[in-house]
Amino acid sequence: MNSTGHTPDRNRRTFLKGLTLTIGSSVIGLPLLSFCSDGSAGNAPEEMRSDEESPQKRKLGIALVGLGGYSTHQLAPALQETKNCYLAGIVTGTPAKAEAWKAKYKIPDKNIYNYQNFDQIVNNKDIDIVYVVLPNAMHAEFTIRAAKAKKHVICEKPMATSVEDAQRMLEACRQNKVQLAIGYRLHYDPFHQRVMDLGQNRIFGNVQSIRAHNAFDMGAGSSNSWRVDKERAGGGPLMDMGIYCVQAACYTMGKAPVAVTATFGEVTRPELFKEVEQSINWKMEFENGVIAECFSSYSDREDFLEGKAEKGWWRLGPAFGYEGKRGETSQGKMNYPNIFEQASQMDGQAESFRNNKPSIVPGEMGLRDVKILMAIYASARDGGKRVPISYT
């Protein structure tokens, strides 16, 4: 489930109209998405849902599963601006939320579900995609249920809290012939696409080192948050904020690390961090000897991504939040706008689903990252021992 540690400011974000940007290639060798967003209206008119219209021409309906802060402040507003998909339905365990969303977004009763009757979504032709936006430990259950209902799935990061769950999710989607994508929004962001280009295409020569830090101060009033409940979250800041650093190192290099080393940070707030780590440091070792030095915490404030190569360098900072990104290289400033990343992300994912093309952020990438996360935890528990990673 997504988190940035700050309140969104919709007035400062620009949603691009007619911008297309394509750079490099993705981590797994698929072409990066060319994103083109026209800011078209959110809810599709009735004629767009006609059974006679080709799925390749109409908007796809998305049902959001879980109506927490990310769905409320990011995904639902983004779905008012997407051109390939729209907010078709919701799934919530809170009746008051269902009524509020129904009124605000004009969602018909037949497209509103709770966690008990969710499986009935199989009969709903309005809904093509289920977006799982729940605490991490619930990702596997609802991805698998959505797959069995023959719906494509977008699952928030991290994909799962165990390698076994991630594998079960992939298998369920394969068996039911639906696609699974992960909510990795930064693959659709121009600043991060530029980093992919710089690293993978060796614009400044071979990459020599990477640094990625992502942390925020959770605050004293967070003792009831699911993020500090290991059963629901699967871990602490590594699973929530640190996964951005893992992703950044991988897409800078265009490959996965061969080994990791890690150590837990000092616990200065034991009343809050009883079950999950307060902070964690780790290094990702790539096959050519490049090291990515990373840090994540729930009691600090850091947000940057740096890379150094043979003939130059680059830096994003802020790098991982929803807005306010800035970047520069050894040749000057990165002059990219801050876009509405979630709109571009969902448009891109809907386009791949609609055209039966591989996603640039597929479930296989999510499984890879869960393997990396689990290796980092294994190293930290073992006092920083080097842990090789197998992806087979």
Are 173 and 366 in contact by the 8 Å Cβ rule? The answer is no
Closest CA to 298 of 370, 373, 221, 246: 221
Q: Are residues 175 and 321 in the same domain?
A: no
Confidence at residue 221, expressed as pLDDT on a 0 to 100 scale: 67
Confidence at residue 53, expressed as pLDDT on a 0 to 100 scale: 53
Domain count, the chain: 2
> Does any domain span residue 1?
no
- Mean predicted confidence (pLDDT) in 135-148: 98
% of the chain with per-residue pLDDT over 90: 83
Which of 25-29, 87-91, 156-160 bottoms out in mean pLDDT, i.e. has the lowest?
25-29
Confidence at residue 56, expressed as pLDDT on a 0 to 100 scale: 56
Confidence at residue 169, expressed as pLDDT on a 0 to 100 scale: 98
* 273: its two tokens: 């961090």
Which of 158-162, 187-191, 269-273 bottoms out in mean pLDDT, i.e. has the lowest?
269-273
Closest CA to 79 of 138, 119, 33, 37: 37
Burial class of residue 253 (count of CB atoms within 10 Å of its CB; 0-12, 13-18, 19+): buried
Confidence at residue 224, expressed as pLDDT on a 0 to 100 scale: 82
Confidence at residue 33, expressed as pLDDT on a 0 to 100 scale: 31
> Does any domain span residue 60?
yes
The band of 74, judged by pLDDT with boundaries at 50, 70 and 90, is very high
Query: For residue 33, is it left (φ>0), alpha (ψ between -120 and 50) or beta?
Result: beta
Q: Are residues 322 and 374 in the same domain?
A: yes
Looking up residue 334, the CATH number of its domain turns out to be: 3.30.360.10
> Has residue 40 got a pLDDT over 70?
no
Q: Are residues 83 and 222 in the same domain?
A: no
- Mean predicted confidence (pLDDT) in 212-239: 91
- Predicted confidence (pLDDT) per residue in 289-323, tens digit: 999 999 999 999 999 999 999 999 999 999 999 99
Q: Which of 151, 168, 185 is the last residue before a domain boundary? A: 185
> Has residue 147 got a pLDDT over 50?
yes
| 23 vs 65, residue with greater confidence | 65
Are 238 and 376 in contact by the 8 Å Cβ rule? The answer is yes
- Mean predicted confidence (pLDDT) in 219-230: 84
> Does any domain span residue 291?
yes
> Does any domain span residue 353?
no
Residues carrying an active site annotation: 157, 244
Residue type, 311: K
> Does any domain span residue 348?
no
- Mean predicted confidence (pLDDT) in 198-214: 98
The band of 29, judged by pLDDT with boundaries at 50, 70 and 90, is very low
> Has residue 18 got a pLDDT over 80?
no
> Has residue 48 got a pLDDT over 50?
no
The band of 54, judged by pLDDT with boundaries at 50, 70 and 90, is low
- Mean per-residue pLDDT over the chain, rounded: 88
Q: Are residues 151 and 202 in the same domain?
A: no
Q: Are residues 103 and 181 in the same domain?
A: yes
Residues spanned by the domain of 84: 10-185
Cβ neighbours around 341 below 10 Å, total: 25
> Has residue 285 got a pLDDT over 60?
yes
Strand order in the sheet with 207-217: 332-333, 327-329, 312-316, 299-309, 207-217, 291-297, 279-285, 259-264, 387-388
Confidence at residue 7, expressed as pLDDT on a 0 to 100 scale: 38
The band of 9, judged by pLDDT with boundaries at 50, 70 and 90, is very low
Q: Are residues 161 and 217 in the same domain?
A: no
- Predicted confidence (pLDDT) per residue in 116-125, tens digit: 999 999 999 9
Q: Which of 154, 185, 216 is the last residue before a domain boundary? A: 185
- Mean predicted confidence (pLDDT) in 129-142: 98
